[in-house]
Homo-oligomer: A and B are copies of this chain.
Amino acid sequence: MRNLSLEPLDRPEGMPTHEYAHRRLRQAIMVGSIRPGESLTIRGIAEAMESSPTPVREALRRLSSEGALKVLDNRRIMVPKMTVERFGELIALRSVLEQHAARRAVPHVTERVIDRMAEIDQAQDGAIARADNATALLLNQEFHRTLYTANPDQILMPMVESVWLQLGPFLGIAMEHVAQLYFVDRHQEAIAALRKRDADAVAAAIDLDIREGIGGFERSAIEHLLRLAGQ
């Protein structure tokens, strides 16, 4: 196993070790810094974050339930490998899930929420301008999350995040081989539609944002990237 380097990440006082481990690993997978096929060892992670196997195991169980990790028959744990078919399923699911989340959120959206989204979008533009892909990615997710969590009874955010998590490792590969991830910005359209409380238009903007953004990879481009990464 490669010596994995995990960003220290902020740890609020009183947060249990297993949760901290979960957040750190999750973050690492989300931005694609743990490569597919790479196998993780419990002791290795525990050592890397100066704790013990017990809480790390709990974190790994959660991650595997979230689809971020796969337990092999050997009981070895790894980041699932990406395939063209799986990528297609993930994009299609992401579109359906997030359109639904957006529609359900619209009735609860306040001007305050929309303003917040506009701020995030602006920050993301800044990150893109600096070619800071990882930050742009995180801000893009925060943009979407802000919208969906406007619904107080929302229950599908964990599922949306699960899809993001499964897409993460591929983004890591893409970011390595493509100079800059092209964030097709349908965020302005989404914001405009939100101000009019037009649920259909919001859903359409979200759909386009996904399909023209990360979903816009051609089959051949995906195959090429996966081949480059030795998948």
Contacts and interface: CB of A to CB of B under 8 A. Distances in A.
A117 B92 CA distance: 25
Contacts of A158: 65, 67, 162
A85 B107 CA distance: 14
Interface stretch (A137-145, A148-156, A188-196, A219-227): A148-156
Contacts of A96: 96-97, 100
A115 interface: no
Interface stretch (A54-62, A125-133, A174-182): A54-62
Contacts of A67: 155, 158
Given A155-B166, A159-B159, A92 B65 contact: no
Which secondary structure characterizes the binding site on chain A?
Answer: helix
Interface residues of A, number: 35
Contact of A61 (B18, B93, B152, B159): B18
A153 B58 contact: no
A6 interface: no
Q: Which of A54, A61, A92, A104 has the most CB of B within 10 A?
A: A61
Interface in A51-106: 54, 57-59, 61-62, 64-67, 75, 83, 85-86, 88-90, 92-93, 96-97, 100, 104
B58 A155 contact: no
Contacts of A18: 61
Interface of A: 16, 18, 54, 57-59, 61-62, 64-67, 75, 83, 85-86, 88-90, 92-93, 96-97, 100, 104, 151-156, 158-159, 162, 166
Given A61-B62, A89-B153, 7 more contacts: A58-B61, A62-B62, A65-B158, A89-B104, A89-B154, A90-B155, A155-B166
